[in-house]
Structure 1
Amino acid sequence: MDQPTSGAEPADAADGGAEALDRPLPEGVRRRVVALVSDAFGGLTVAELPAQLRQYARFTPTRRAKFAGNAMAAALESDPLFRQRIGERLSQTQPELAGALEAGSPPAAADPVDVAAAAYVLRPTGWVKLVEAAGEEVQRADAERVDEESRRELVQLREELERARAHTRSETE
């Protein structure tokens, strides 16, 4: 007998896990996922939490993220029911983002890390591509930041060199 399912059902539960990451979550996405789980965690009963996370139920979201981050990330990956519960909370707190992801059209103006973290939790079709794209975007932004810092340092060093040369010329004259 067919049972109706909610849109919050993880895609991997529906399609047999066809989509999977071939590398760890990008660090920025992982931090955002842990923050999402930590915030949603407070809305769950102790009975709804995986056994390994129950000891963190009374922690504040910040302490929970700090001390239970690895355990929450592992539970989210290995426990589809927990991921579904977190996804339902996410859908309640961020309905526009969740709806756009479920519809297959992530908002272009949204932070790619936010989109990737929500996609990782909700697991809509194509979630792996969203997570990988966010990782690439973060790496590109980091590379641009490093390039800009290197350019500024080069300009500063050239100015210092010119001052040192001018000082040396003035002393030798």
Structure 2
Amino acid sequence: MSLHFDVVHGQVHLPNDLLIGPSLTQTHLLRVCTEKAIAIRPYTIHSAPYTWFSADGGILDEEPLGVELRFWDDVLVSADLHLDRGGESLDFVRTKRRHDALLKGHLGEPHELWDERQDNAHSVRLFPVYRYSWGKITSLQDGPVFIRLEYAGRRKAAETKFNRVNVPEQLSAVERFRQGRF
């Protein structure tokens, strides 16, 4: 099976038959991975309030496809895909170009380019963005290189909820006001 993006519903069907989309929950992910014998493991990267899972996405173009899933409680916030042997390739430029070409081949021309270049005009900090009603798909480099599906409003909602629950009471009045705690 191959990789397929369903941009109407915000889903991606992976080569190993795992379907990732906005209705995917942690509970369902763990059940499906167990039923289909898909390798999956939870991990933490010091990014509260999220729970992360790393999963095998199958083989794409004779190379393993890695998947990182970010959840808030039982809600999928985003999914990262990478073709670079676990997100650890040192050839960032080559991997970024492969990811960009993969998206262009499946989705066409990007809806916009997010330009985060500094002084180097040849930097890989030019990110194609595909926007849809459910969220966006972007090819990024933030240390590792990956393709991110991010579901609209979920990250902000999770971080807002987390900050309201976990804000230390020693905050100044200005800090409490900025966080909506006054």
TM-score, scaled relative to structure 1:
0.25
Q: Which has the higher contact order (CA 8 A, sep 6+)?
A: 1
Structure with larger Rg = 1
More helix per residue: 1 or 2? 1
More strand per residue: 1 or 2? 2
TM-score, scaled relative to structure 2:
0.25
